[in-house]
Amino acid sequence: MNPVYAALGTTIFEAMSARARASGAINLGQGFPDGPGPAPVLRAAAEALTARSNQYPPMAGIPELRLAVADHYRAAQGLDLSAEEVIVTSGATEALAAAILALVSPGDEVILLQPLYDAYLPLVERAGGVARLVRLEPPEWRVTEAMLEAVAGPRTRLIILNNPVNPLGTIMSAAELEAIARFCVGRDVIAICDEVWEHVVFDGARHRPLIGVSGMRDRTVKIGSAGKIFALTGWKVGWMCAAPALAQGLARAHQFLTFTTPPNLQWAVAEGLAKHGDWIAGASAGFQRSRDRLAAGLAAIGLRTTPSAATYFLSIDLAASGIAMDDRTFCEWMIERAGLVGIPISAFYAEAPVTHLVRLCFAKEDATLDAALERLGAALPELEIRA
Ligand code: PMP
């Protein structure tokens, strides 16, 4: 077996969901919402399945979806993408794999920011790349040009970033994006910007796409996911957007990964983006209410949390809450004693992990959040908590 996979375990999200299924624990681990998703988009998928072609769609995606993605980003983010610059993939996961396989050659150095989404590093290593890790520090978790310069060298080809950031729930500032852009332009580096959480932002925030920052139009691969936009995480419809010269290479990698994505889902997402954009803002407002419900409930039982400006996640801060356990021990305790599953943030590190944060998914029905809080509140007194 390739050594990258020989050394790799099962992703923490699958492992923790399996624990929840086996034990009946409430699953606030893996990030997926309770809700059914937008009814008209589901109907469009069902109708397309019976009324339209189920044969191979075009390799880069059905034209209606490529155009809908470009139009959507023009309206929502002021971008000037053409349909030809959008390549539809089977989820953002496939887009990441295709982009990394297309852009990384053996020996290339790739900058990754920690904490990192757990797919990035194995994909980079499988492509023969050498990861250069930049560690973001709490409480602000900000990246600067100096931090990037500190790990850069003549073989630096690529930076992979995630904005908004899973697991932190932070949004990169304009200053950070400009610093990344200056670095990329100065060093002739390409950026893969994983923006799957672009629409799950709260408190009136607006997402700033890196590809729209000065100097980045021709050197950014912007990755998106309908699974996140329409809260349908099982659909695995995503895309990568890039200038034609880059897009051509990305398509070559994509054609031998999945080649295409189920056509009925592509039509449904195209229709969703074109006609049901208003659902997206409403969904975010709902997730924001859920965030507030969980944060308030955790505060009421004496647990401190980190702020969440985006994503489906907030974290319990064990250290600030006076709990001396590390995140993995606390997650085990939660499953056993509270019947509740979370994700230890140390799983998002390749080295020197932060170990005092436990990620919880709040994209759940009120009753699920309330039940989780009740269980946790009832179990907490058995822990030694230092004031
Ligand atoms: N990137 C990030 C940062 C994610 O959080 C996720 C999903 N949790 C993905 C990529 C994968 O997205 P998809 O389901 O569309 O493959």
Classified by CATH at the fold level, domain 39-275 comes out as: Aspartate Aminotransferase; domain 2 (3.40.640)
pLDDT interval class at 98 (50, 70, 90): very high
Give CATH 3.90.1150.10 domain extents, the chain.
Answer: 3-35+278-379
Q: Which of 69, 96, 117 to mutate to test the pocket of ligand 1 (most atoms within 8 A of CB)?
A: 117
- Segment 183-193 shows an average pLDDT of 98
Structural class in CATH, domain 3-35+278-379: alpha beta
Question: Which amino acid is it at 202?
Answer: F
> Residue 14 Cα, ligand 1 centroid: separation in angstroms?
13
- Segment 340-347 shows an average pLDDT of 96
Task: Report if pTM > 0.95.
Answer: yes
Q: What atom of ligand 1 comes closest to residue 96's alpha carbon?
A: 10
Per-residue model confidence as pLDDT tens digits over 251-284: 999 999 999 999 999 999 999 999 999 999 999 9
Q: What lines the ligand 1 site, CB under 6 Å?
A: 31, 91-93, 117, 162, 166, 194, 196, 225, 227, 233, 236, 238
Share of the chain above pLDDT 90, in %: 96
Give CATH 3.40.640.10 domain extents, the chain.
Answer: 39-275
